[in-house]
């Protein structure tokens, strides 16, 4: 038995369109309705037949849904929750895909106090955006973290868990605050560092007569991929998860200062020990199936 028969997706960018494609691939009898605030995105969704119906408003999209997934920037979730409230069926379960959970849980609970709310974070994505960037296998063999709001009935949580399992994800549960601390170090801080390094390189372009971009080596090139991610989404992530990000940034700054001193004073053993530990972390990520062990990150050189 399917966990849900009628799913509404609000926001049809990379994640929302990937959810739609994955549902079509794994649960083809599910009725899909979508909405996006951008009329051009709605037109594209119609053209590529992304969902069964494209609604003009969020309320129209959710009117007969039994699962609503909010795939919008995290700072927009509260407003969308308030907007759909009058049209939302009483039995509908509400979820999202944002990478910050504490504020999302609070805002949805306030906007929709009488509904089952199961915030979710599929830990997957690419640097691309838009409805044509999505693909059905995005969530396969990736984590999806659920952070149920206090008081949400267990059957609703399990239905959302089964939904993501059918899309290929491995489901884990956390409290919202714990999730935000974990993701601050594993996702948010790396993006912040990437944005900073690429910004610094851009500032140096004039000084180096374009050689930073021209001679980009693998490390810098990988940072530019991360830094190409959706700017609206990441602006909202950093402002929404501010406390956890600042805490992790403070710890990183202390470690960076230690590394700076080791380089200045020629402490080769200290550097070697650090690089040995970090190499082991990389190996463990590959062993757990969270990345590919292919040489040069799987790039081709034809």
Q: What is the pLDDT of residues 191-201, one digit of tens each?
A: 888 888 777 77
Determine what percent of the chain is predicted with pLDDT higher than 90: 56
Q: At what angle do helices 77-84 and 102-111 cross, to 10 degrees?
A: 20
Task: Taking residues 143-165, report their average pLDDT.
Answer: 94
Cα–Cα distances (Å) from 122 to 71, 131, 193, 222, in that order, read: 11, 17, 22, 22
The predicted-structure confidence for 14-42, as pLDDT tens digits, reads as follows: 999 999 999 999 999 999 999 999 999 99
Which pLDDT band holds residue 296 (cuts at 50, 70, 90)? very low
pLDDT at 229: 75
Q: What is the pLDDT of residue 227?
A: 75
Least confident span in 86-100, 156-170, 226-240: 226-240
Res 124 pLDDT > 90: no
Q: Determine phi and psi for 252, rounding to 5 degrees.
A: -60, -40
Give the pLDDT score at 208: 53
Greater pLDDT, 293 or 232: 232
Measured CA to CA in angstroms, residue 20 lies from 10, 31, 35, 67 at distances of: 11, 10, 12, 13
Region for 168 from its dihedrals, namely left if φ exceeds 0, alpha if ψ lies in -120 to 50, beta otherwise? left
Instruction: Give dist(CA 297, CA 96) in Å, integer.
Output: 30
Distance CA 106, CA 113 (A): 10
Gap between the Cα atoms of 69 and 118, Å rounded: 10
245 class by beta-carbon count within 10 Å (0-12 exposed, 13-18 middle, 19+ buried): buried
**Per CATH, domain 178-289 is 1.10.3660.10:** yes
As beta bridge partners, residue 126 has none
Number of Cβ within a 10 Å radius of residue 185: 16
Residue 278's pLDDT is 76
- Per-residue pLDDT band for 225 (boundaries 50, 70, 90) equals confident
Bridge partner residues of 171 (DSSP): 144
Angle (nearest 5°) at CA 41 between 227 and 48 = 110
CATH topology of domain 6-174: Rossmann fold (3.40.50)
The whole-number pLDDT of residue 287 equals: 61
Cβ atoms within 10 Å of 238's Cβ, excluding its own: 18
User: By three-state DSSP, how is residue 45 classified?
Assistant: helix
User: How do residues 183-222 score in pLDDT, each as one tens digit?
Assistant: 888 888 888 888 887 777 777 666 555 566 666 656 677 7
Contact 97, 139 (CB under 8 A): no
**Residue recorded with tokens 């119906």:** 53
pLDDT of residue 299: 46
Domain 6-174 and domain 178-289, same fold? Reply is: no
Of residues 301 and 158, more confidently modeled: 158
Structure tokens at 94: 């509400």
Q: Which residue has the higher pLDDT, 214 or 75?
A: 75
Q: What is the mean pLDDT of the chain?
A: 87
Sign for the pseudo-dihedral over CA of 134, 137, 138, 144:
positive
DSSP string, 147-208: -PPTT--HHHHHHHHHHHHHTTPEEEE--HHHHHHHHIIIIIHHHHHHHHHHHHHHHHTTTT
**How much is the average pLDDT of 273-287?**
73
In 3D space, the residue among 63, 160, 79 whose CA is nearest the CA of residue 121 turns out to be: 160
Domain boundaries, the chain: 6-174, 178-289
Residue 60 is predicted with a pLDDT of 97
């Amino acid at each position: 038995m399917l966990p849900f028969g009628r799913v509404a997706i609000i926001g049809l960018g990379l994640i929302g369109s990937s959810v739609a494609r994955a549902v079509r691939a794994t649960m083809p009898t599910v009725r899909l309705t979508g909405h996006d605030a951008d009329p051009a995105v709605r037109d594209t969704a119609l053209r590529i037949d992304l969902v069964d119906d494209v609604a003009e408003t969020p309320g129209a999209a959710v009117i007969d849904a039994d699962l609503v997934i909010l795939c919008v920037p995290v700072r927009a979730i509260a407003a969308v929750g308030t907007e759909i409230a009058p049209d939302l069926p009483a039995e509908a379960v509400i979820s999202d895909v944002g990478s910050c959970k504490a504020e999302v849980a609070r805002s949805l609970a306030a906007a929709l106090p009488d509904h089952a709310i199961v915030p979710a974070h599929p830990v997957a994505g690419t640097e691309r955006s838009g409805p044509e960037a999505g693909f059905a296998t995005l969530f396969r063999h990736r984590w999806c973290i659920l952070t149920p709001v206090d008081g949400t009935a267990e059957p609703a949580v399990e239905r959302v868990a089964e939904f993501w399992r059918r899309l290929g994800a491995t489901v884990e549960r956390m409290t919202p605050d714990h999730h935000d601390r974990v993701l601050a170090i594993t996702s948010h801080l790396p993006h912040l560092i990437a944005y900073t390094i690429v910004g610094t390189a851009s500032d140096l372009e004039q000084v180096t007569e374009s050689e930073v971009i021209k001679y980009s080596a693998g490390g810098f090139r990988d940072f530019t991929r991360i830094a190409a991610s959706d700017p609206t989404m990441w602006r909202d992530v950093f402002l929404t998860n501010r406390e956890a990000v600042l805490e992790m940034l403070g710890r990183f700054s202390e470690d960076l200062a230690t590394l700076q001193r080791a380089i200045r004073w020629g402490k080769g053993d200290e550097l070697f020990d650090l690089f040995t530990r970090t190499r082991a972390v990389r190996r463990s990520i590959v062993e757990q199936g969270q990345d590919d062990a292919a040489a040069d990150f799987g790039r081709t050189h034809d």
